Amino acid sequence: MPFLNPQFYLEYFLKRERTQLYTSVAIRNFAMAMILIFEPIYLFLYFNQSLTKTFLFFSAIYFFYGILSPFGAKIMAKVGLKRAIFLSIPFLFSYYLALYALKRDYFMLGGAILLIAASLKVVSMLFYWPAFHTDFVRFSEKKNRATQVSHLHIVNLAGWSVSPLLGGFILERFGYSVLFIIVLIVLGLSAFPLLFSREVHEVYTDSYQRAFKRVLWPENKNNNIAFFAMGGENAISFWVWPVFLFVMTLKYQTIGLISTFSLIIGIFSTLIIGKLADRVGKRRLLRIGSIFRSGAWIIKSFVKTGMQAFLARSFYRISQKTAGVPFSAILYDKAAQKGADADEFIIYREIVTNLAKAITLLFLIFLFSLRLPIYSAFLLASFYSLLLMFL
């Protein structure tokens, strides 16, 4: 199959009437990518440049999503996969509306607004992520799963690639208020394709207690390590790296530029990696990618200039996908092998991964309280990257 063979897209976007679903997801990703890299910076500034308060906010979101994930699965089973994703949109919309309200807090209700915002984000995640992952497990095929995962990554990256640059441009010219308004408009548009889609239902059978007991099952020991590492590394990449760039006194447009061009490099590397994973073996490529991903984080800790940040981030994107594509393919393989329990496995993974994000951010708060520099977090991410091989 050539890299851009339309067969995959016909299967992935048209089979089982999934066109509307993934059109909605693509629009949603485009909107979020405009703000996501600047979101921690926005809160960092709101909290008077307090890393502790910034990371506490995101840690609380991940903690409550992690412990409530089984309820999200039950909602998904009740309302259906597409409807669950549809219902996530108004909550995500309201989350960004609440963050926007922080800048216009005329009545000094910042604490209440933050609590409402965090709650809205948790509910949005409960609707979205269990349904999204379960849908892909049910659709994808084992023999080509790494290739299909790479194409899924490309679809996501394509929407994300231009958005950070656009978001940075808007911030430089007009500020956060205009950026939030544009993000809200695009998020609203992402709901429309789902109005015309057919529903797909799943049956989720785990009790709340059984969902957490899966973490203690002996056969999940290596999975626990890998999922914890992936969650922790992602938390550092999403929330620490942008603040690090801001502390370097880089302009918003420069931060967006670094993100955009490194993402474009990630797209081309993902095209190659998906094919390699199916040919040379997912686990072999995962081992290679994990080592390079670990090295990329060490390189990031030495970054001093914008050009160095771009080069380091570009190398990270290549190594991230070298490990990430086979990691995701193996994850979906394992979930698919569970048969009717695939969604239960996905929820177990959501619990571990998101609690890992919460714990990692809390641990970083402790490290920074010892006056360690912000880039010390990258050494922890380097260690996490090596643990991905346990999957």
pLDDT digit string (tens) for 288-297? 999 999 999 9
Task: Tell me the two tokens of residue 116.
Answer: 């409402």
The domains of the chain are located at 10-390
* Residue with more model confidence, 332 or 148: 332
- Give the amino acid at 109: L
* pLDDT at residue 7, rounded to an integer: 37
CA atoms within 13 A on the CB side of 381: 28
Tell me the mean pLDDT in the region 221-236: 97
Task: Tell me the two tokens of residue 91.
Answer: 């909550």
- Count of Cβ atoms closer than 10 Å to residue 250 Cβ: 19
pLDDT digit string (tens) for 66-121? 999 999 999 998 988 888 988 999 999 999 999 999 987 666 788 899 999 999 99
Q: How confident is the model at residue 134 (pLDDT cuts 50, 70, 90)?
A: confident
Cβ neighbourhood burial of 185 (10 Å; 0-12, 13-18, 19+): exposed
In 3D space, the residue among 37, 105, 64 whose CA is nearest the CA of residue 241 turns out to be: 37
- Give the amino acid at 385: S
CA 117 – CA 77 distance, rounded (Å): 26
* pLDDT at residue 12, rounded to an integer: 42
* pLDDT at residue 203, rounded to an integer: 77
- Write down the mean pLDDT value for the chain: 86
Q: Is the dihedral of CA 349, 36, 55, 112 positive or negative?
A: negative
Tell me the mean pLDDT in the region 127-139: 80
C-alpha angle 358-41-306 in degrees, rounded to nearest 5? 110
pLDDT digit string (tens) for 137-177? 766 555 555 555 655 656 666 666 788 989 999 999 999 98
Burial 340-369 (b: 16+ CB within 10 A, else e): ebbbbbbbbbbbbbbbbbbbbbbbbbebbe
pLDDT digit string (tens) for 167-222? 999 999 999 989 999 999 999 998 888 777 677 777 788 888 998 999 999 999 99
Cβ neighbourhood burial of 66 (10 Å; 0-12, 13-18, 19+): buried
In 3D space, the residue among 72, 121, 132, 66 whose CA is nearest the CA of residue 357 turns out to be: 66
Answer CATH for 10-390 from 3.40.50.1370, 1.10.1670.10, 1.20.1250.20, 1.10.150.120: 1.20.1250.20
In 3D space, the residue among 60, 190, 208, 71 whose CA is nearest the CA of residue 130 turns out to be: 71
| H-only helix segments in the chain | 6-9, 19-36, 39-46, 51-79, 81-103, 110-139, 145-174, 176-189, 208-213, 221-235, 241-247, 252-280, 282-300, 306-337, 342-369, 376-387
Tell me the mean pLDDT in the region 6-30: 60
CB within 8 A of 278, min separation 6: which ones? 143, 144, 145, 146, 147
- Count of Cβ atoms closer than 10 Å to residue 297 Cβ: 26
Q: How confident is the model at residue 4 (pLDDT cuts 50, 70, 90)?
A: very low
- The answer for 50, left when phi > 0, alpha when psi is -120 to 50, beta otherwise, is beta
* pLDDT at residue 110, rounded to an integer: 83
